[in-house]
Amino acid sequence: KRQELGRLRRLTSRMASGEKISLQANMELPAELPLVAQSGAAGIGLLRTEFLFLNAETLPDEDTQFDIYASVVSAMGADPTTIRVLDWGGEKPSEALARMNGNGEEPEENPALGLRGLRLLLEHPHLLETQFSAILRAAAKGPVRVLLPMVTVASEVIAAREIYERVARRLKRKGVETGDALPPLGIMIETPAAALTAGALAQHADFLALGTNDLTMYTTAADRSSAEVAALCDPLHPAVLRMMAETITAGLVERRPVSICGEMAGDPKMTPLLIGMGCRAFSMTPSAVPRVKQVVRAMRHEDCRQLARRVLAETDVGVIREMLEEFSEK
Ligand code: PEP
Ligand code: MG
């Protein structure tokens, strides 16, 4: 088993019909770097920075953040690191944030629908400035991409980009070392609003990353962390799949790369469908990479396309699940 994994790590992630598929890792803490290296992932498709500071009592300053990002970027060598700015709020509350807001503040009644992710950062722009600055400095150590969480309208992306470019200009003026070019700034597509207007949002973003965990939650109106409605929070719901298809098509039309970084990206039973829908890049928990690579290497593109066509025409979640089971058994 170990040998098999070692062998897979060195093989390229290419389909039997020749298409190259990018398999990257999701990561939360630098302690996971050895796992990422072992997995054979071609870079980090999602670094969830909120987890770095979840239990911190104060907001991390720029140098503290820079040290962490720089160590990850350096460890990845020539492979890119996609750093997502803080996705605090929702089911990821933060100690530091609670203190910053003053403990007198009423907790939100619906945190998942409240001031979360980019909304929260735009409300506290100094958080975004500090984090952008740390990330841009880390970009001097290797290829970096920057990702904005929880987008719903273009004005949020435009506002974030303005801050991003301002921070970059300031660093340049001060003569601080950053990468040669400004790292691409992309957006998470994880709300129905973003998925259904992905083409318009793409005008302001360099790449799109489908966050199918939240997209499923917001589409099915079923909390991703509730056991009671877990059966309803199903990424195979045709409404979710159609929104994903819409996003992937928008990316192709607007020539923006689209990756999938929700949990389903690491489920080998989903791989043929997602490839058939037109996706070429996946980011997943590191331990899932070898198995997904095996599936990629065994598959022909045309078969995936046909599967996706049949699945997207189906309206029954149970039947869709059976189609995928049946396909992977073959
Ligand atoms: C997602 O929502 O699918 C996602 C990748 O982000 P997170 O799981 O961190 O919310
Ligand atoms: Mg999310």
Find the 117 Cα to ligand 2 centroid distance in Å.
9
Distance from C-alpha of 282 to C-alpha of 292, rounded to nearest angstrom = 10
Tokens of 73: 């970027």
Closest atom of ligand 1 relative to the 48 alpha carbon: 9
* Pocket probe mutation, ligand 1, options 188, 217, 263, 274, max atoms within 8 Å of Cβ: 188
Do residues 126 and 166 make contact, with C-beta atoms less than 8 angstroms apart? no
Output the residue whose Cα is nearest ligand 1's atom 1. 211
Measured by CA distance, the residue closest to atom 6 of ligand 1 is 211
- Give the separation between CA 316 and CA 177, rounded to whole angstroms: 54
Question: How far is 307 from 190, CA to CA, in rounded Å?
Answer: 24
Q: Is 216 left (phi over 0), alpha (psi -120 to 50) or beta?
A: alpha
Nearest CA to ligand 1 atom 9: 48
CA distance 295 to 164: 38
Q: 3-class SS at 95?
A: helix
Q: Which backbone phi and psi does 171 adopt, to 5 degrees?
A: -60, -40
pLDDT of amino acid 79: 98
pLDDT of residue 278: 97
Q: Is 123 annotated as a binding residue?
A: no
Classify the C-alpha dihedral 221-227-229-235 as positive or negative. Answer: positive
Here the tokens at position 262 are 């929700």
Q: Which two tokens stand for residue 211?
A: 């966050």
- For the chain, the C-alpha Rg in angstroms (whole number) is 20
Residues with CB under 6 A from ligand 1: 46, 48, 87, 190, 211-214, 261-262
The ranges of the chain with pLDDT < 50 are none
Name every residue whose Cβ is closer than 8 Å to that of residue 325 and which is 6 or more positions away in sequence: 269
- Ligand-binding site membership of 169 (annotated): no
Ligand 1 centre distance from Cα of residue 263 (Å): 8
- Positive or negative: CA dihedral 262, 265, 269, 273: positive
SS3 254: helix
pLDDT at position 105, please?
Answer: 64
The atom number, within ligand 1, closest to the CA of 149 reads: 6
Residue 78 and residue 71: Cα distance in Å, rounded? 13
> What is the per-residue pLDDT for 56?
80
Question: Who's near 271: CB < 8 A, 6+ residues apart?
Answer: 282, 292, 295, 296, 299
- Please name the amino acid found at residue 111: P
User: Does 303 show up as a binding residue in the annotation?
Assistant: no
Q: How much is the pLDDT for 101?
A: 67
pTM of the model: 0.96
Q: From the CA of 1, how far away is ligand 2's center (Å)?
A: 33
Q: Which residues pair with 24 in a beta bridge?
A: 283
Phi, psi of 177 (to 5 degrees): -70, 125
How far are the Cα atoms of 17, 84, 217, 266, 321 from residue 213, in angstroms, in the given order?
A: 30, 15, 6, 12, 17
DSSP 104-127: TSPPPSSGGGSS-THHHHHHSHHH
Residue 170 among known ligand-binding residues: no
Tell me if 192 sits within 8 A of 241, measured CB to CB.
no
Q: Can you spell out the DSSP letters for 7-75?
A: HHHHS--B-TTS-B-EEEEEESSGGGHHHHHHHT-SSEEEEEGGGGGTT-SS---HHHHHHHHHHHHHH
Question: Of 284, 280, 281, 279, which Cα lies nearest the Cα of 267?
Answer: 284
Q: Determine the pLDDT at residue 266.
A: 98
